[in-house]
Structure 1
Amino acid sequence: MSRQLITFELGEQSLGVDIMAIREIRAWSPATPLPNVPAHVRGVVNLRGVVLPVLDLSMRLGWGLTDPSARHVIIVVRIGDQLQGVIVDAVNDIVTIREEHMQPLPDVGSNEASGFLEGLATVDDRMILVLDLEKLTTEIKTSASLAEAA
């Protein structure tokens, strides 16, 4: 069995997320900050009348704060019954991965970022870190509730 991933860049890394979770890809627009939310929640944006929490993926993975510019994009993903925005540097392409080509993460000790990954996939000569969206947003569900109230 195979699955399709949208791949994107975050710094020097190639990451991927299941294409079925993607709702849209939109240009960067500044987020309205919210008080008392984790540092990786950049705020909310208005998506055609829907308040959309925006997550700084680099910060969430422990790779540092993103300084968004016009070249950045927001990937809108559905996680459970809620839409979330994820800031990335650039979207690359769609790749098809066969399940048997997914590699488990090597055991390299305690690493916060590895807790958000489903596995690794090799496409041509590049390694793609495959995100587990459910794990990525576990902590921010409370923040998303705050965003809905805003």
Structure 2
Amino acid sequence: MSYTTQTQTSLHTSEKGGADEFLAFTLGGEEYGINILRVQEIRGYEPVTRIANAPAFIKGVVNLRGTIVPIVDMRIKLGLGSPTYDALTVVIILNLAGRVVGMVVDSVSDVTTLTAEQLKPAPDISTSFDSDFLIGLGTLGDRMLILVDIDKLMSSSDMGLFDPSAS
């Protein structure tokens, strides 16, 4: 299946209800969106417990009501400069196939509803995201969201968060 076919398939699977909701957030000055159904909660950044020998983008873990949650800083993972942790820094807690993961982003702006007409295939250009992890672009007037397939991104082998043999 070609990249274009994959993108079109991903875009058109959302047409069942006519619209999907996406959580909009910023990373390195760009606005991204993920399917709101993957979001468990949104929290402010808090100190984490570091894990020895973990990649730099895995900040550590937090105890979230008895669940140990790995925290991934997407700014480090995508090479978007030196991250700062301030009052706007947010952790999006994701529930992906029963696995809870936290994703650090610069800020969260809103939940946006996008219709099939507002979804466009992502251009085939080099970005910090591998194109396999992009669903497409969501257009809202002058605003454009880079839509990320968060399931594919977080379960990719280079993230090291999920054991593929455990499926």
Question: Whole-Å Cα distance in 1 between the matches of residues 129 and 124 of structure 2?
Answer: 12
Kept in 1: contact 2:26–2:106 (CA 8 A): yes
1:67-78 aligned within 5 A? 67-78=84-95
TM-score (norm 1): 0.85
Match of 2:146 in 1: 129
Greater shift, 64-73 or 78-87, is seen at: 64-73
From 98, 103, 116, the counterpart of 1:99 = 116
TM-score normalized by the length of structure 2: 0.77
Q: Which of 41, 50, 69 does residue 33 from structure 1 map onto?
A: 50
Superposed CA offset, 1:49-98 (max 9, x none) = 11110011122223234222232111101111201101111111111111
Other-structure match for 2:129: 113
Correspondence for 1:148: none
Change (3 A) 1:32 1:139: farther
RMSD over aligned CA atoms reads 1.9
> Unaligned regions of 5+ residues in structure 1, if any?
146-150
Change (3 A) 1:88 1:120: same
For 1:45-84, list aligned pairs within 5 A.
45-84=62-101
Question: Number of paired residues?
Answer: 144
**Corresponding position: 1:139 with 2:129:** no
Larger Rg: 2
For residue 123 of structure 2, give the secondary structure of its aligned residue in structure 1. coil
| Structure 2: gaps (5+ residues) | 1-17
Distance across 2 between alignment mates of 1:117 and 1:60: 16
